[in-house]
């Protein structure tokens, strides 16, 4: 397969979901078989040989890349979901948004102390979401071996919230 520029497959949607936000649409990347394969393969290459036991994916676009990555690495997948969606007993974390707060949950029995995991989402913006997931996963005693994104909005300095953790992003703005 020829080398492809993943950035070309990201579609910018101005003022979505609200005015002033430039939404980075990944559906155009997912739709292209070579772009999809290139992005999952690149994440797999970054997180191979680290003894990863689970990929933890963040709802909802983190599920798409996270599950494909887990399949490629030959490991299991654990979903982190918005409040009220997971059926069994959960642990939760609440974090601040621009206006108000949001809550994310993980099944209470999903992770054990020492489990090596990688956390995946589609996009790193301010880092608030993934920072909350780092806390949720870290509180279980699991070891976070890295955090991976397809897109990083570097001008928002989300990395600041992930100090000390290996961060991989495939496309930067």
CB of 61 to ligand AMP, least distance (A): 5
Whole-angstrom Cα distance, residue 89 to residue 148?
27
User: Where in 106-125 is the site for ligand AMP (CB under 6 A)?
Assistant: 121-125
Q: Specify the residue for token string 């991989």.
A: 168
Does position 169 interact with ligand AMP (CB under 6 A)? The reply is no
Applying CB under 6 A, which of residues 128, 143, 159, 168 lies at the interface with ligand AMP?
A: 128
Output the six-digit token pair for 97. 């948004």
Whole-angstrom Cα distance, residue 130 to residue 132?
5
* Residue span binding ligand AMP (CB under 6 A) among the ranges 19-27, 49-57, 65-73, 74-82: 19-27
The three-point CA angle 129-55-115 to 5° equals: 105
Output the six-digit token pair for 70. 């887990």
Applying CB under 6 A, which of residues 8, 11, 15, 22 lies at the interface with ligand AMP?
A: 22
Whole-angstrom Cα distance, residue 37 to residue 57?
18
CB of 142 to ligand AMP, least distance (A): 20
Does position 61 interact with ligand AMP (CB under 6 A)? The reply is yes
Beta bridge partners of 18: none
CB of 141 to ligand AMP, least distance (A): 24
CB of 173 to ligand AMP, least distance (A): 9
Q: Specify the residue for token string 């642990």.
A: 91
Binding stretches for ligand AMP (CB under 6 A): 21-24, 58, 61, 121-129, 158
């Amino acid at each position: 397969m020829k080398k492809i520029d993943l950035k070309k497959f990201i579609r910018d949607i101005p003022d979505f979901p609200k005015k002033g936000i430039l939404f980075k649409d990944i559906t155009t990347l997912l739709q292209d078989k070579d772009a999809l394969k290139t992005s999952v393969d690149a994440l797999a290459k970054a997180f191979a040989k680290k003894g990863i036991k689970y990929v933890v994916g963040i709802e909802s676009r983190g599920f798409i890349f996270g599950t494909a990555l887990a399949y490629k690495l030959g490991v299991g997948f654990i979903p982190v979901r918005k409040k009220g969606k997971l059926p069994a007993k959960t642990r939760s974390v609440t974090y601040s948004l621009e206006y108000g707060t949001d809550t994310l949950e993980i099944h209470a029995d999903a992770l054990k102390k020492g489990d090596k995991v990688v956390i995946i989402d589609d996009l790193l913006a301010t880092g608030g979401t993934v920072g909350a997931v780092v806390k949720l996963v870290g509180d279980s005693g699991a070891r976070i071996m890295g955090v991976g994104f397809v897109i990083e909005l570097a001008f928002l300095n989300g990395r600041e919230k992930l100090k000390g953790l290996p961060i991989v992003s495939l496309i930067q703005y």
